[in-house]
Amino acid sequence: MGITNGQKIVKQWIEVEPIYNLLKSNISRINLPITVIFIKAQCPNLLNKNELFTIENEITTYLERKVRDTDLLFKCDEVMQWGILLIGSGEVEAAGLLNRLYQSIKDEKYDFYLNKQCFLNALVFEIKNSQIKLSHLYLQKELQFEKEYDAWTIINIPIFKKRDTEIVKISILEDNEIFRKVLQRTIENIKVEHLDIQVKCFADGYEFLQSDWYISSHQHIVILNDILPQKNGIEVVYNLRKMPNHKKFTIYMMTKRNTQQDMIYAYESGIDEYLVKPFNMRLLEAQLSRTFERV
């Protein structure tokens, strides 16, 4: 049951939990964080409870008008406390939203601000981890709101920003054993905090496709040579791109061909990155780092 204010129903705290659980389960899958804002209003000059509920309704109406359709406003069990669930936004966007809210209250000279000297404080929790329950946030909220803060403060609580460790598979398809080892060592030296990078080498495309290494839901980077024994690179690409979840593959092709026609053909076949041999290993590292950021 929610508070009805005009057209929208503002959800209660308890109704938000299933929505929150759905969103946090998808944090690593769609690589978008969620942010939860808790707002507490304080009115030091208020005398009685009736006034308190009136002001609470006023602030609820105000927030409901100002919060975007893509964000979810909810009412906490405690008096004069609200929450906003931001999807796909981080703490920077949350701070921007709060600053705009604070400023508009002052500019539009709301009664609760002007006459009752009420002020707001806000806690911002950016969630990048699918293990964090709403009850954990609630507990932190209680602890933080017990402290004294100046009026109109935004407090970022970074304790839930540590990302889940995600497995990323990297396959190297190269028939030259020496260079294959060089690639493997170079990639194994790349360390990314929230990624568990697993590297495997194959001497040809057939060996790769016969294995079950590439059949999983993990993000998969494939670095392959265009010319391979048994099954060449383009054939491997065709096979991978026919798979239903082919979007998990990021494919790098190494080749000695450097004409525009070859590149066009490779991209049209499903390649994501084109590396002309001989290439600089720093270039490969830089491209891989960009790919890891997107993962």
Partner 1 sequence: MNITILTVLYCIGILVLFCLFLFGILAIRYFIQMRHQRVMDKYYKKTEQLWFNYLIEDSQFTLKLIPKTTNEIKSAENILLSYINNISDEAIQSKISFFAKAYLSNYYMKMLTHRRWSIRMNTLYRIVDFRLDNLVDYCLENQAKLKTSNEQFQVFKIQSMFRKESFIPLLTTLQTIFSETEYRQIFIEMDEEMLECLFHLFEQLPKNAQYALIEVFSNKVDFEKVHHLEGLLVNEDAEVRIRALKGMERIGVIQDLNLILPFLKSSIWEERLMVAKLLKYGTLDQVEPYLIELFNDPNNYIQKEIMTAFKKEKIVEQLNEKSAKGIVNQPTKQQFVLEGH
Minimum gap (Å) between residue 166 Cβ and partner 1: 27
Nearer to partner 1, 87 or 182 (CB): 182
C-alpha R_g of the chain: 26
Element housing 16 (H / E): helix 13-25
Nearer to partner 1, 109 or 191 (CB): 191
Site residues (CB under 8 A) for partner 1?
176, 178-179, 181-182, 185-186, 254, 277-282
Q: Which residues contact 12 (CB under 8 A, 6 or more apart)?
A: 1, 2, 3, 74, 75, 77
Residue 83 one-letter amino acid: G
Q: How far apart are CA 31 and CA 21, in angstroms?
A: 15
Minimum gap (Å) between residue 178 Cβ and partner 1: 4
Q: Which residues contact 210 (CB under 8 A, 6 or more apart)?
A: none
Minimum gap (Å) between residue 230 Cβ and partner 1: 20
Beta bridge partners, 50, equal none
Nearer to partner 1, 117 or 289 (CB): 289
Nearer to partner 1, 85 or 224 (CB): 224
Strands 195-202 vs 219-225: parallel, antiparallel or unpaired: unpaired
Nearer to partner 1, 3 or 275 (CB): 275
Minimum gap (Å) between residue 277 Cβ and partner 1: 5
Minimum gap (Å) between residue 207 Cβ and partner 1: 20
